[in-house]
Amino acid sequence: MLALKKKREAEKKKAEEEAKAAVAAPSVSAPSESTEEGGGQVSLFGIGGQKKTKKGESSATKKTPGEIRIQKDIGELDGGKVAEVTFPKPNDLTSFNVSITPDTGYWKGARYEFEFKVPAHYPHSPPKVECKTSIYHPNIDLQGKVCLNILREDWRPVLDINAVIYGLIYLFYEPNPDDPLNHEAADLFRKDIQSFERLVNRTLRGGTLDGVTFERLV
């Protein structure tokens, strides 16, 4: 019994000395552990180690509330067969492209590329949207600027990226000549819809209009 007691005291003393040595040497970090979220590095001693993080995230790249909101929005995207979202830089959710191919209307079958830039203070400010494909449209000018009310005065933080994509799709189905960017196209749409349709078809086949060269889309 005495020998067993001495042995346990010796083991206890050795364990205490090892613990003191570990605390005194902060440059030695504990092996990495997987957190509940997985993948983050954890220091068991709280000295010289990394803060507990979510998967794929370090303390140096902690997400802002805006980035967290964007991530949520992206996870809920649903443009159906009409819209497709792509990320040129997979690690950057604030910059992405949306391709819209209307399945009805004047621009049916043509594919239009839109570039989205999400500001740092999103969702308190709307994303910036630019049409990268030349189009003859009352609400999109020949420089690619887009006139959509929820991108301006009607934006609210409760709105999301999906709402903007749906709004863009709706512009192809129901152009709004009463709130135009391309005033010539809007005037023609109001006064002579058949001539408007002919000009749209002409631009879809390629060619030049008002000094702008249009890509052949159909």
Supply the residues annotated as catalytic.
Answer: 147
Residue 189 CB neighbour total at 10 angstroms: 23
Element (H, E) at 2: helix 2-24
Give the C-alpha separation, 132 to 146, whole Å.
11
The type of residue at 99 is: S
* CB within 8 Å of 5: residues ≥ 6 apart: none
Residue 22 CB neighbour total at 10 angstroms: 15
Give the C-alpha separation, 170 to 154, whole Å.
16
Residue 112 sits at φ, ψ, to 5 deg, of -120, 135
Rg (alpha carbons) of the chain, rounded to whole number: 29
Distance from chain centroid for Cα 79: 14
Give the C-alpha separation, 156 to 173, whole Å.
23
